[in-house]
Amino acid sequence: MLAMNKSKSVKSLGTALAMSAVLLAGSLSTSLTPAFAEAVRVTAPQAPSFADAVEAVSPAVVSVRVEVGAEPASQRQSSRSGQDFLPEGHPLRRFFENDRGNRRGFGDRRRGRNFGASQGSGFFVSDDGYIVTNNHVVENGSKFTIVQHDGTELDAKLIGTDPKTDLAVLKVDAKEKFTYVAFSEEKSRVGEWVVAVGNPFGLGGTVTAGIVSASGRDIGSGPYDDFLQIDAAVNKGNSGGPAFNLKGEVIGVNTAIFSPSGGNVGIAFAISASSASAVVNDLIKNGAVSRGWLGVQIQPVTRDIADSLGLDKAAGAIVAEAQDKSPAALSGVETGDIIVKVDEQSIKDPKQLAKVIAGYGPDANVKLTVIRDGKEQGLDVKLGTLPGAKKVALKTDRDNDAEFKLAELGVELTNTPDGVVIAGIERGSPASDKNLRRGDVVLSVNGTDIKSVDDVSDAVAEAISSERKAVLLQVESQNRNRFVALPLDLG
């Protein structure tokens, strides 16, 4: 009897809701536009179903498990869940901290070398096993495992990463053909439905739905920000997972959440498909993203700057300095020039200039339109290659990861005007055992002169690929030079 009463109650409630919707549509039609009234009449009684889209795309979505070295897993999970990449001082940063305000950093590893695991999400973009996820999911990883929709676990290798957009590509080698999804070629509309599929809190295979709340968001995470804001529930572990439209196309890669508590509050950010697809193609093809490089330090043209120069509007990017021997300097760009166009595309601010230049490949020829002394003039520039773009050349998941190996050895390096300096030494590490100290300057690695931290990583990677058992550092300490051999085979 109780069950029957419940059934009647639900049925009555459904009838009442349907009648209310019809009455609402009828009342609206007398006071609002016919088009709006018709939209309410049609949509109010009908709730959308995501089941068909979810059933089609779910096999392409995977959980990504990452074995992490040199950092406690609990610390990594709390501090790198997709939001800690905001710069220090950013107004949104306080909302992305956990209750204790944990920070990643070398100084947090005082308890010795720790190995743990972190989890995220990802999705197949080809039937031969290429997987897209976030860079911060795989960062510092030594081993990668993906868990498919049916629970099957497969080893994966890292193909390449792009920290500037927080994207990464993994690859699974298997004979089977995988179900995969494609990026949408259409621009997402604010208000359209979106479905997020991923691995929140390690639960796996979770589906949430909402709408696109905004587009083109710049949250200050990097020079190429182009985020969709969505209100589908996204939590820790969703990072790297896809956001779908109802056609089953990927419109974004879930990356960050805005949350005082660390959980979902209805504001999440996804890298737009238009930004992600080009980066992913480069990573699959080359293992790295090659971007055009102009070589200028720029700042916004404020209203005050525009007024002082007699300009009608505050737009463009003013050149604070053209870097020595950069493409800009060699092409005649001068301090004080205001860049207002690249080819035929107008530039409204420095952020747009960075995106436009990055959209060109290295060695591309572009025409800059600049305002100098109140007059427009054109400059022909041959772009260079953005420094720092390099391929992740890994022979195995762990033993050939140079950056991981440096952290494992207990060394933190930084670039300074005096050269590459040791900024931190982990207590009890091989570097500590060899009496390396903070402030020591690294002059060479395995006989190769060192000018940057990237040079160190490249030299260590070369030593690992050559299966050397140690890497030889020449360091300057207290005005004297010495050689220090650090073991690469740590078991």
Tell me the fold of 292-385.
Answer: Pdz3 Domain (2.30.42)
> Stretch 209-216: mean pLDDT, rounded?
91
pLDDT interval class at 418 (50, 70, 90):
confident
The pLDDT assigned to 101 comes to: 35
The CATH number of domain 48-289, selected from 2.40.10.120, 3.40.50.720, 1.10.8.50, 1.20.1300.10 = 2.40.10.120
Q: Active-site residue 90, yes or no?
A: no
Q: 136, 142, 326, 397: which is the annotated catalytic residue?
A: 136
Model confidence at 83, in pLDDT bands (50, 70, 90)? very low
Select which of 78, 121, 239, 326 is catalytic. 239
pLDDT at residue 298, rounded to an integer: 86
Which of 33-42, 82-91, 384-393 has the least mean pLDDT?
82-91
CB 181 within 8 A of CB 60: yes
Does the structure show a pLDDT above 90 at 378? yes
pLDDT of residue 191: 93
Q: What is the mean pLDDT of residues 152-178?
A: 92
pLDDT at 262: 66
What is the model's pLDDT at position 80?
Answer: 40
- Mean pLDDT computed over 467-482: 77
Where do the domains of the chain lie?
2-46, 48-289, 292-385, 402-487
Residue 466's pLDDT is what? 73
pLDDT band at 369 (very low <50, low <70, confident <90, very high): very high
Other Cβ atoms closer than 10 A to 196? 27
Q: What is the pLDDT of residue 457?
A: 83
116 in Cβ contact with 108 (< 8 Å): no
**Highest mean pLDDT (candidates 161-165, 299-303, 378-382):** 378-382
166: annotated active-site residue: yes
Q: pLDDT class for 31, splitting at 50, 70, 90? A: low
Catalytic residue among 162, 166, 337, 401: 166
pLDDT band at 27 (very low <50, low <70, confident <90, very high): very low
Tell me: pLDDT of 87 over 80: no
The pair phi, psi for residue 398, each rounded to 5°, is: -110, -50
Give catalytic status of residue 136 as yes or no.
yes
For range 259-264, the mean pLDDT: 69
More confident residue, 116 or 132: 132
313-331 pLDDT tens trace: 899 999 988 888 899 999 9
42 vs 414, which has greater pLDDT? 414
For residue 196, pLDDT beyond 70: yes
Pick the range with the lowest mean pLDDT from 76-80, 272-276, 364-368.
Answer: 76-80
Candidates 2.30.42.10, 3.40.50.2300, 2.40.30.20, 2.40.50.1020; correct CATH number of 402-487? 2.30.42.10
Q: Is the pLDDT of residue 296 over 70?
A: yes
Q: Are 292-385 and 402-487 in the same CATH fold?
A: yes
Q: What average pLDDT does this structure show over 213-228?
A: 80
How high is the pLDDT of residue 264? 73
Query: What mean pLDDT is predicted for residues 291-307?
Result: 87
Question: With 90 as the cut, is the pLDDT of residue 79 above it?
Answer: no
| Residues forming beta bridges with residue 193, ordered by sequence position | 211
Q: Sorting pLDDT into bands at 50, 70 and 90, what band is 193?
A: very high
| Residue percentage of the chain with pLDDT more than 70 | 74
Per-residue pLDDT for 179 more than 90?
yes
